[in-house]
Amino acid sequence: MLFDRFLGATSSWMRYLKASQEIGTLLQEFQFDWERQRADQDGHEPTPSQLSGMILRCHTLLRNVDRIVRQETEAWIAEFRGVLTQMEESAVKATDAARAMDAGRKPRGTMDLEVTNGDLAAGGWTVRIDDEKETEHHGKKIVLAGLAPGFRRVSVLGQIGADVKKAEKIIRVPEGGAASASVTLS
């Protein structure tokens, strides 16, 4: 079920079948039109205008098939992104629930965080862990201590030149251990 939900196998298969039927219908219409146009030629070479019509019909078929494939691809991408967002939200909620349940019982962890282009942020950059208060930093590397174990959302924000850049990543902080993470402001 998780495999199906993550990859969207069932809904993808249904969309695949629908797209296949639409393309099959277009192909049948094209083949009938093609044979009708050939019959209109009565065994003679096509005139320039008949040839032009046949080429236009080929072009229309290819454009319609491309439209169907593009729509299916966009639908799959949207569904995949939605599932990833739901999974990330579920992981954060589960971590928050576990953190609330285990507050004060588990040894805290640390995180070695590298902001690969943090030195380009002239005014420094801020980091926020989950929904906690932002802290300001300079340079590329910091160590964050006293973090509750589990999956933590790390959000970094800084200004490089005239542009505000950000980075976000989910990092697992081990119980009583250290996690390493690297992000790039973009």
- Residue 102: its pLDDT value, please? 59
Question: Crossing angle for the helix pair 48-102 and 9-40, nearest 10 degrees?
Answer: 180
Question: 3-state SS string over the chain?
Answer: CHHHHHHCHHHHHHHHHHHHHHHHHHHHHHHHHHHHHHHHCCCCCCCHHHHHHHHHHHHHHHHHHHHHHHHHHHHHHHHHHHHHHHHHHHHHHHHHHHHHHHCCCCCCEEEEEEECCHHHCCCCEEEEECCCCCEEECCCEEEEEEECCEEEEEEEEEEECCEEEEEEEEEEECCCCEEEEEECCC
CA 39, 42, 43 angle in degrees (round to 5)? 105
**Whose CA is closest to 61, among 86, 88, 24?**
24
- Residue 54: its pLDDT value, please? 93
Predicted confidence pLDDT, tens digits, the chain (186 residues): 555 555 556 777 888 899 999 999 999 999 999 999 989 888 899 999 999 999 999 999 999 999 999 999 898 888 888 878 888 888 887 777 666 665 556 678 889 999 999 989 888 899 999 988 899 988 889 888 888 889 999 999 999 988 999 999 999 999 888 999 999 999
Contacts with 152 (C-beta within 8 Å, 6 or more apart), sequence order: 95, 111, 129, 130, 170, 171, 172, 173
Q: Hey, which residues does 147 pair with through a beta bridge?
A: 109
Half-sphere exposure (Cβ direction) of 139: Cα atoms closer than 13 Å: 5
pTM attached to this predicted model: 0.46
Distance from C-alpha of 59 to C-alpha of 180, rounded to nearest angstrom: 54
- Residue 167: its pLDDT value, please? 95
Per-residue pLDDT tens over the stretch 154-177: 999 999 988 999 999 999 999 888
**CB-count burial class (<10 Å; 0-12, 13-18, 19+) for 9:** exposed
